[in-house]
Amino acid sequence: MEQNEVMGKVVDILRPFVKNPSALTGISMDTSILKDLKVNSARLVDIVLEIEDAFGIAVTDEAADQVKTVGDAVSLILKTKA
């Protein structure tokens, strides 16, 4: 699975949780999920669970704690799927 394809799916997963929808227009690997997209930390847990379901992966608590940006989520998925 290519990085762009994974990123597209991650953005789709994030969309319902985003409190700042205008930030989705300029989303990049460096976009902060908490600061830029205004997702609260409790909802980040829900996002990680959805990522696990969507990609058929298991994410450890330690790995989930490292997800701060869209790129972190994409990298985690690509690394776990490899």
pLDDT at residue 53 is higher than 80: yes
Q: Give the pTM.
A: 0.92
Q: Read off the pLDDT of residues 8-48 as tens digits, 9 standing for 90 and up.
A: 999 999 999 999 989 999 999 999 999 999 999 899 999 99
| CATH number reported for the structural domain that contains residue 38 in this entry | 1.10.1200.10
- pLDDT, the chain, mean: 94
CA atoms within 13 A on the CB side of 66: 12
Q: What is the domain count for the chain?
A: 1
- C-alpha span between 66 and 17 (Å, rounded): 18
What are the distances in angstroms from CA 27 to CA 54, 55, 56, 76, 80? Answer: 20, 21, 24, 18, 23
Percent of the chain's residues with pLDDT above 90: 90
Place 1 in a pLDDT band, splitting at 50, 70 and 90: confident
DSSP per-residue letters across 10-66: HHHHHGGG-S-GGGGGG--TT-BTTTTS---HHHHHHHHHHHHHHHT----HHHHHT
Task: Return the percentage of the chain with pLDDT > 70, whole number.
Answer: 100
Residue 82: band (very low, low, confident or very high) from pLDDT cuts 50, 70, 90: confident
Supply the range of the domain harboring residue 59. 3-81
82 SS3 class: coil
